[in-house]
């Protein structure tokens, strides 16, 4: 399960290293097995060569002896010759009669039981029943392996005279030394191969995953609301090229869909806005119509209070006209995109200037420094601050002691402006709608203030967020680059 969580590059790297290690272990195991088999063959063949050579010497002695060639005379025939043959071949020789009794040995003295006085019935049966009348006995003793060969030796008429026994110690010291030297050299060679494989695996895995990393980065950076770049990769495999072409085709389709969606959303937004404006304009028109009709119906030039009534009617009409004017101004301000003049200004000073238009003494201003320089449009910055402060003022209930805190600070390369209030807060169901045009929880206004603030801030590549608790207040945070 953990292996699946590893990156493709890491898995390729690990797989290649494991492949080299597995190959090293497998070749070392094969080499050891081969050496063991060759060692066995070497001892078998060496014993056979010694046996043939000694049998030729025995045949020669038998042909040249002056004694009668019978089993009983064997000790006399080989009284001194057996030692000569043993010295020539550097091999111990034991001669037994056909019943398994010891006749002669090349050892001048021997420890009791070190040589069998009589061969076992099993050895005699094996000799008698095999085609070549030869038997090999293996014995493991004190961690060493001994071979003993038993075979008949003949007279000049090919009649069996006795049994030739050659005890042979399998001395593997030389071969083991050769094996160790070989494995040591193999180890050095594979150590070099391992380091080379690690280096090649690193480069190869990096090369294989480089294209996938590029594609992954592009996919992660893909956004519906902006224009996305296509992937351009040269010298790739057919599979990667297919993937790149599929992505580029998807980007084209996504861009077309985004354009159509944006167009549709704009049209829908303007339709909704037009409905909202029409609705807001109709609201003051109704009382204006009723006022005019009432004035027309009750107008009497002889009435002594006619001047007072005309004054009241005029005030009512002017009030409704002002309402319509504010609606038109709000719509105009929202529809007008802010111009990016990018003038260099002191944000602290401009925010103070924006707060000067408010007479409320519960507005508190804090600044991290006396001067925080950034590039922003003066008018738009004032509009952002005043809209957020107005929003805070309107959110405070009448039965609450109002408090609004405006703070200016800088964090890394960004300017941060926070506006907090102790108002009624934003309910959970309304949090997602706060920045939508025409959304408002107030009894008056069009709900364009926060939407306009968001529009201005995002135009300057900034962001606006908020945190709110019901009946405890809201904190709006505006952040934008200094440059």
Question: How far apart (Å, rounded) are the C-alpha atoms in residues 171 and 145?
Answer: 8
> What is the pLDDT, as a whole number, of residue 414?
92
Question: Residue 149 in contact with residue 52, Cβ under 8 Å?
Answer: no
Question: How far apart (Å, rounded) are the C-alpha atoms in residues 348 and 374?
Answer: 10
Question: How far apart (Å, rounded) are the C-alpha atoms in residues 459 and 463?
Answer: 9
* Tokens read off for 275: 């409905």
* Tokens read off for 63: 């042909």
Q: Exposed, middle or buried, 51 (CB in 10 Å: 0-12/13-18/19+)?
A: buried
Distance of CA 120 to the CA centre of its chain: 72
Phi-psi region of 142 (alpha: psi -120 to 50; beta: other; left: phi over 0): left
Distance of CA 398 to the CA centre of its chain: 57
* Tokens read off for 414: 């960004």
> Minimal CA–CA distance to 40: which of 52, 29, 48?
48
Q: Domains in the chain and their CATH numbers? A: 2-176 (3.30.450.20), 238-335 (1.10.287), 344-481 (3.30.565.10)
Contact partners, residue 153, CB within 8 Å, separation at least 6? 55, 58, 59, 62, 95, 160, 161, 162, 163, 164
* Tokens read off for 84: 């000569």
> What is the pLDDT, as a whole number, of residue 424?
86
**H or E segment to which residue 226 belongs:** none
> What is the pLDDT, as a whole number, of residue 453?
85
> What is the pLDDT, as a whole number, of residue 418?
95
In this prediction the pTM is: 0.38
Report the b/e string of 299-337 with b at 16+ CB within 10 A: eeeeeeeeeeeeeebeebbeebeebeeebeebbeebeee
> What is the pLDDT, as a whole number, of residue 110?
47
Question: How far apart (Å, rounded) are the C-alpha atoms in residues 469 and 422?
Answer: 9
Contact partners, residue 142, CB within 8 Å, separation at least 6? none
Q: How many residues does the chain have?
A: 483
**pLDDT tens per residue, the chain (483 residues)?**
455 566 666 777 788 788 888 888 888 888 788 877 877 787 788 888 988 999 899 989 888 888 888 888 888 888 888 988 888 888 889 999 888 888 888 876 544 444 667 888 888 888 888 888 888 888 777 767 778 889 999 888 888 889 999 988 766 666 667 777 877 887 888 788 878 877 877 777 777 667 666 766 767 666 655 566 666 666 556 666 676 777 777 777 777 776 677 667 666 766 666 666 666 666 666 666 777 777 777 777 777 777 777 777 777 777 767 666 666 665 665 555 545 567 889 999 999 988 888 888 899 999 999 999 998 888 888 888 988 998 888 888 888 889 999 999 999 889 999 999 998 888 888 787 787 765 454 444 434 568 878 888 888 889 999 998 888 899 999 999 987
């Amino acid at each position: 399960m953990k292996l699946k969580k590893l990156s493709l590059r890491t898995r390729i790297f690990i797989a290649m290293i494991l492949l080299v290690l597995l190959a090293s272990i497998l070749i070392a195991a094969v080499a050891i097995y081969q050496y063991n088999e060759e060692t066995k063959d070497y001892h078998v063949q060496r014993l056979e060569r010694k046996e043939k050579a000694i049998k030729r010497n025995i045949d020669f002695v038998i042909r040249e002896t002056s004694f009668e060639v019978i089993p009983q005379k064997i000790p006399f025939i080989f009284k001194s010759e057996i030692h000569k043959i043993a010295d020539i071949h550097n091999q111990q020789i034991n001669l037994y009669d056909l019943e398994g009794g010891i006749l002669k040995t090349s050892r001048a003295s021997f420890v009791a039981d070190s040589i069998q006085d009589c061969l076992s019935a099993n050895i005699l049966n094996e000799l008698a029943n095999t085609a070549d009348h030869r038997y090999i006995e293996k014995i493991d003793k004190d961690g060493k392996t001994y071979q003993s060969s038993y075979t008949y030796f003949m007279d000049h008429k090919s009649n069996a005279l006795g049994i030739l026994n050659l005890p042979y110690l399998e001395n593997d010291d030389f071969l083991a030394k050769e094996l160790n030297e070989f494995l040591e050299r193999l180890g050095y060679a594979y150590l070099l191969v391992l380091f080379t494989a690690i280096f090649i695996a690193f480069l190869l895995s990096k090369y294989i995953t480089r294209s996938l990393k590029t594609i992954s980065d592009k996919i992660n950076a893909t956004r519906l609301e902006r224009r996305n770049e296509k992937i351009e990769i040269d010298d790739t495999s057919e599979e990667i090229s297919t993937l790149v072409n599929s992505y580029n085709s998807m980007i084209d389709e996504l861009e077309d869909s985004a354009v159509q969606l944006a167009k549709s959303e704009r049209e829908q937004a303007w339709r909704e806005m037009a409905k909202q404006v029409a609705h807001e304009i109709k609201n003051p028109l109704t009382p204006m119509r009723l006022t005019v009709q009432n004035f027309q119906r009750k107008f009497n030039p002889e009435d002594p209070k006619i001047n007072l009534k005309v004054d009241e009617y005029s005030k009512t009409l002017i009030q409704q006209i002002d309402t319509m004017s504010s609606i038109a101004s709000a719509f105009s301000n929202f529809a007008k995109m802010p111009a990016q003049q990018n003038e260099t200004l002191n944000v602290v000073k401009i925010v103070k200037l924006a707060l000067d238009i408010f007479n409320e003494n519960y507005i508190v201003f804090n600044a991290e420094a006396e001067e925080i320089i950034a590039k922003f449009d003066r008018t738009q910055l004032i509009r952002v601050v005043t809209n957020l402060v107005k929003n805070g003022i309107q959110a405070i209930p009448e039965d609450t002691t109002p408090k609004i805190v405006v703070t200016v600070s800088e964090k890394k390369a960004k300017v941060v402006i926070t506006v907090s209030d102790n108002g009624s807060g934003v309910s959970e169901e309304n949090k997602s709608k706060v920045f939508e045009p025409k959304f408002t929880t107030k009894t008056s206004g069009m709900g364009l203030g926060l939407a306009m603030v968001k529009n201005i801030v995002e135009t300057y590549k900034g962001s606006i967020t908020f945190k709110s608790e019901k009946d405890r207040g809201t904190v709006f945070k505006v952040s934008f680059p200094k440059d």
